[in-house]
Amino acid sequence: MTRAGLLRAGAFIAAGIAFPLVFSAAWLVNIGVLTLMYAALAVAWNLFSGYSGYISLGQVAFFGLGAYSLGITFEHFGIGSGYNPFYALPLVGAGVALASLPVAWIALRTRHMTFAIVTLTLLFVVQQLAFNLHSITHGSSGLEVPPPTFSADTYDQPFYYAMLGIVVLGLGVCWTVLRSKLGLMLLAIREDEEKARGLGVRVTGAKLIAWWLSIWLTAMVGGVWAYYLTFIYPESSVDPLVMIGAVLMTFLGGRGTLWGPVIGALVLVPAQQYMIIHLGGSQLYLVGYAAVFMVVLLLLPRGILPSLRDLIVRLRERQRTRGRPIARQRAAT
């Protein structure tokens, strides 16, 4: 890891840890929880869809599954309250990710556009299951998770740190993958899958591993959310708008980059809250949201980070070639 990268990571973690201690008002920590939730979802989405090039539109289905799994673990396994559910999260997430593999395998046999659509239908399938499997999910009445007895003043902090932990974990996983053989395989797949397959790259295996990691993180986020809200309903746990938000944030920040999704979340979540406060009552909230979405996709299709990087490279180039006599410039090119 470069020194700059290490500094960036350290600064982010330090700022993340300090935030609720400095800005301890519950409503601010609440916004922090939401921001980190979206950041984690964006990082997880980017891990699969950003690196492999396969746009998955079903991510929020696994967010919901993670939420329900945690709720069911509460009900049927008597996990206890307090901090225990947080410790159970990685296992719950792993279980959901494992269960998703067969479906992913079938979906990944199709090509990009079909894959996107099939993952989208997954969303509705999971929502239907949540409605229909009454004995497990309580259907439309919802699943209740007993609220923990954290003190009222710092109630939101454990959830905040849990989300922060998942974001850091996600970033760590992304960084490791990028630097590993898996990362190279994914990039090769994104470039030209047939060629990669021809060269002997284990295409299906690579995609499945990236998928598993992405779902593991997503399900954990769903679990924390379920514990935070204490009520899990089919409509709210599998909400397309949540996923579109995470996708938008990834695009805004820069798909396929490491920090892009986080930056996207840091920009968009407060902006979202702002829009709700000021545009909410008039139903224009949805239109405003769609407009932002459109602007980002049409004007900044590569996202903030890559565009910034390009800008910096261009500026450096200009600086480098400035002041040199033309003859030498020509020789340099």
Partner 1 sequence: MHNVVQAVILGVLIGGVYALMASGLTLVFGIMKVINVAQGALVILAAYLSYALFSHLHVDPFLSILIVTPAMFVLGVAVQLVFVRSLRGPDSQELSLLVTWALALGIEGVLSVVFKTTYRATNPSYADKTWTVFGYQLSFVRLMAFIASAVLLALLSLLLTRTKFGRAVRATVQNPTAATLLGVDANRVQTLSFGLGVSMAAAAGAVYGVIYPFNPGSHYDLISRLLSIVVLGGLGSLGGAVVAALVMGVTEAVVAVEWAPTWAAFSYFVVLIVFLLVRPQGIFGLRERTL
Partner 2 sequence: MTRTLARVAALATVAALALAAASAGRAASGPIKIGISLSLSGDFSDSGKAAERGYKLWQKLVNAKGGILGRQVQLSIQDDTSSPTQAQSNYQTFITKDKVDLVFGPFSTLLTAPSAVVAHRYGYAFIEPAGGGPAVFQEKLNNVFFTQPAPVLQSGDVFAKFILSLPASERPRSAAYPSLDDPFSSPIADHVRGILSKKGVKTLYTTIYPSETTDMGPVIQKVASKHPDAVIGGTQNDDAYAQVKAMIQQKFSPRFLFLTNGPNDPAEFPSKVGAKNVNGIFSTGDWFPQEHSYGNAAFVKAYIKAYGGTINTIDPTAAEAYAAGQLLEAVAKKTHSIDNKTIISALHKGTWRTVEGNLRWNSIGEPQGSDLLVEWINGKLYPVFPKSVALHKPLVPKPAWGK
Q: Out of 12, 19, 30, 120, which residue is the one contacting partner 2 (CB under 8 A)?
A: 30
**Residue number, 125 or 169, with CB nearest to partner 1:** 125
User: Which part of the chain contacts partner 2 (CB under 8 A), choosing from 22-30, 42-50, 191-199, 201-209?
Assistant: 22-30
| Residue 88 and residue 71 in contact, taking contact as beta carbons nearer than 8 Å | no
Tokens of 3: 């020194």
| All residues at 6 or more sequence positions from 75 whose CB lies less than 8 Å from its CB, including other chains | 143
**Using CB distances below 5 to 8 A depending on partner kind, what does residue 125 bind out of partner 1, partner 2, none?**
partner 1
Using rule CB under 8 A, residue 182 touches partner 1: no
Q: Residue count at the site for partner 2 (CB under 8 A)? A: 38
- CB-based contacts of 18-24 (< 8 A; 24+ apart in sequence): 19/160, 20/154, 20/156, 20/157, 20/160, 20/161, 24/153, 24/154
**Residue number, 170 or 256, with CB nearest to partner 1:** 256
Within residues 224-263, the interface with partner 2 by CB under 8 A covers: 225, 228-231, 233, 235-236, 239
Smallest Cα–Cα separation from 267: which of 242, 291, 236, 296? 296
User: Which part of the chain contacts partner 2 (CB under 8 A), choosing from 42-50, 84-92, 148-156, 202-210?
Assistant: 148-156
**Residue number, 98 or 294, with CB nearest to partner 1:** 294
User: Which part of the chain contacts partner 1 (CB under 8 A), choosing from 62-70, 90-98, 141-149, 276-284?
Assistant: 276-284
Using rule CB under 8 A, residue 142 touches partner 1: no
Rounded Cα distance, 60 and 96, in Å: 13
**Using CB distances below 5 to 8 A depending on partner kind, what does residue 154 bind out of partner 1, partner 2, none?**
none
Cα 184 off chain centre by: 21
Per the document, the length of the chain is 333
